[in-house]
Chains A and B, each alone.
Chain A
């Protein structure tokens, strides 16, 4: 698939990172687009758990939650899950900054198992080994008419095999369908005279 066709396709068998307030929404968006079992690794002390009734269609049945108690177990779980062949997507919420060593080990594990990984990191706490890094923010839609639009601003701030770009999309969190929001542009050229 050409990258222009689907800007949000994560390169398979690599580990990616997402930061910002909207990172969990981005992870669920990706989970809905990846077939196969899903592993969500969530440290035991984090109070936010996915709510089954609010997840996109088809994600709840495939989702497995791991609640490791220590950061060491978390990293071990990530590697073990990435090495497993049948898993579709591994989502992990790391609490501490990922070292380059940990990031590189994850990339190797992902290549062994041909599994895609997505690390939800604290802002600025990623590792240099990540394939892409996404900055995700929920956006308020200021137009009065769009009562139920759920805008997201998803930007690539690091891309090892492509360019960084910004997108604003409207995704309502129930399916894999989304709408691109075109950017408002100021007109430079003079307007055509009315005919």
Chain B
């Protein structure tokens, strides 16, 4: 397995056969290939690796009540009081190893009296340290096994201390003064003089609530009442975790095992039950209740963090809330990708001088004051004019109307952005003209002087106020 960090590939994981060839973790891929030309590599997928470790962590629950992750590649289980169920520590470790081997995992395990000692031993061969003989058990391991940083390990190595056993008889005060409290703490943790309990990671909060009803309901008002109860519970949970929902899904189970589902989107993260309930009304109207609904489940599949805000009766805040409600209800009917907002962008190309972004997923940005030549109020894809005469054209036809030029301002030359390959700008730079016509409309015309053959083509792209 290789992992790309910075701009070079490193070995992330190696097989035992590769270790035999002299490869090691963290080695640059180029060096590894020099050592072993027929090396087969795959890119590492950290997310899937973490998921696999989490699954293994759940599985390891069969050996101990408390299982925690230990670094990115290890698990730590607190097996106090457990081994006699498997027939002793040795039998337990054999059982674990054989099961892992059966599933195709090459793993090392160690049993020791402390967390630090088990960590050290598992990464250097594995084994079992009997109770009360910690120093003998891990004394022969290199100091790097103590979870120390590289500087400390190399500093100790320069002093001739390379084994854990070398550290134990040394006086503590000079060690701490020279290498910091970290070294002494790690040593104490490994030897059991400093407590380090195994704690399982807290479960991620689940944002879903449900209600089961003794009697089936069918009225719209009853469903709304049940929804309000669920929403109140969900919103309390959301606000406790400082989260806001972006989508809320209501699943209903009918007595005849049918199911219905209503899902709404919100224009901004929200945990206010009354305002979310208002958006559900339209969806709940359409539910087919059949013989009645006897269970409801409310989940928030898409979440965003929502910091607590000062409650305010200020006019602006209220208006913002009401506008967000309007955008939510519009988005739920016509789609959130059709509720848009214009954002300024850094480009001189007319089409890219602003972004059209969904209003629910963007904040308004101040428009920089306009400088330079005038810009039209409306913009559309270029439309070719027919029968232009002259440069700029004195007469032309566009959209089946005849126009006579009264005044022309320009040209304003805009060159394409070479770092984007825009098909609309393939025919080179454009000369933009503001053409006032005798007929009234003030149009934004451009010509493409770089076209290969014939006279330049003229196009209309905008209309001025």
Residues of A within 8 A of B (CB): 21-22, 24-25, 28-29, 36-37, 44, 47-55, 57, 60-69, 73, 76-77, 80-81, 84-87, 137-142, 147, 150, 152, 171-174
Residues of B within 8 A of A (CB): 319-320, 322-323, 325-327, 329-330, 333-334, 338-344, 350, 353-354, 356, 359, 364-367, 369-370, 374-381, 406-407, 436-442, 462-465
B437 interface neighbour in A50, A63, A73, A140, Cβ under 8 Å: A140
Contacts of A172 in B (CB 8 A): 465
A150 in contact with B441 (CB, 8 Å): no
Pairs of residues from A and B, 4 with the lowest C-beta to C-beta distance, nearest first: A173-B465, A54-B375, A52-B354, A51-B379
User: Please, how many angstroms separate the alpha-carbon atoms of A22 and B39 in the complex?
Assistant: 71
Contacts of B365 in A (CB 8 A): 61
B377 in contact with A21 (CB, 8 Å): no
A86 in contact with B441 (CB, 8 Å): no
How many residue pairs link A and B with beta carbons under 8 A? The number is 147
Contacts of B338 in A (CB 8 A): 44, 66-69
A60 interface neighbour in B342, B359, B406, Cβ under 8 Å: B342
B465 in contact with A76 (CB, 8 Å): no
A85 interface neighbour in B322, B339, B374, B406, Cβ under 8 Å: B322
Instruction: Quote the shortest CB–CB distance from A153 to chain B (angstroms).
Output: 8
Contacts of B438 in A (CB 8 A): 140, 142
A54 interface neighbour in B323, B341, B439, B462, Cβ under 8 Å: B462
Q: Indicate whether A52 sits within 8 Å of B342 (C-beta atoms), given known contacts A28-B465, A65-B356, A66-B330.
A: yes
B322 in contact with A69 (CB, 8 Å): no
Instruction: Quote the shortest CB–CB distance from B352 to chain A (angstroms).
Output: 11
Residue among B342, B356, B465 facing the most chain A CB atoms (10 A cut-off):
B465
A65 in contact with B465 (CB, 8 Å): no
B406 in contact with A54 (CB, 8 Å): no
A138 in contact with B326 (CB, 8 Å): no
A48 in contact with B354 (CB, 8 Å): no
B326 in contact with A52 (CB, 8 Å): no
Q: Indicate whether A86 sits within 8 Å of B463 (C-beta atoms), given known contacts A51-B353, A64-B339.
A: no
A25 interface neighbour in B325, B330, B377, B439, Cβ under 8 Å: B377
B439 interface neighbour in A52, A77, A87, A140, Cβ under 8 Å: A140
Contacts of B320 in A (CB 8 A): 86
Q: Indicate whether A73 sits within 8 Å of B465 (C-beta atoms), given known contacts A54-B376, A65-B342.
A: no
Contacts of A76 in B (CB 8 A): 333
A84 in contact with B364 (CB, 8 Å): no
Closest residue to A36 on the B side, CB-wise? B319
Closest residue to A52 on the B side, CB-wise? B354
Q: Indicate whether A147 sits within 8 Å of B407 (C-beta atoms), given known contacts A49-B356, A77-B334.
A: yes
Instruction: Quote the shortest CB–CB distance from A43 to chain B (angstroms).
Output: 10
B356 in contact with A54 (CB, 8 Å): no
Taking A52-B344, A53-B370, A140-B439 as known contacts, 6 extra A-B pairs with beta carbons closer than 8 A to each other, sorted by chain A number, are A24-B463, A25-B465, A51-B378, A138-B442, A140-B436, A150-B464
Q: What are some 16 contacts across the A-B interface (CB < 8 A)?
A: A24-B378, A29-B465, A49-B379, A49-B380, A50-B342, A50-B377, A50-B379, A51-B377, A61-B367, A63-B342, A65-B341, A68-B338, A73-B333, A80-B333, A87-B326, A150-B465
Instruction: Quote the shortest CB–CB distance from B81 to chain A (angstroms).
Output: 64
B334 in contact with A69 (CB, 8 Å): yes
Instruction: Quote the shortest CB–CB distance from B385 to chain A (angstroms).
Output: 16
Residue among B329, B375, B378 facing the most chain A CB atoms (10 A cut-off):
B378
Instruction: Quote the shortest CB–CB distance from A28 to chain B (angstroms).
Output: 6
User: Please, how many angstroms separate the alpha-carbon atoms of A174 and B370 in the complex?
Assistant: 9
Q: Indicate whether A140 sits within 8 Å of B406 (C-beta atoms), given known contacts A54-B377, A67-B338, A68-B338.
A: yes
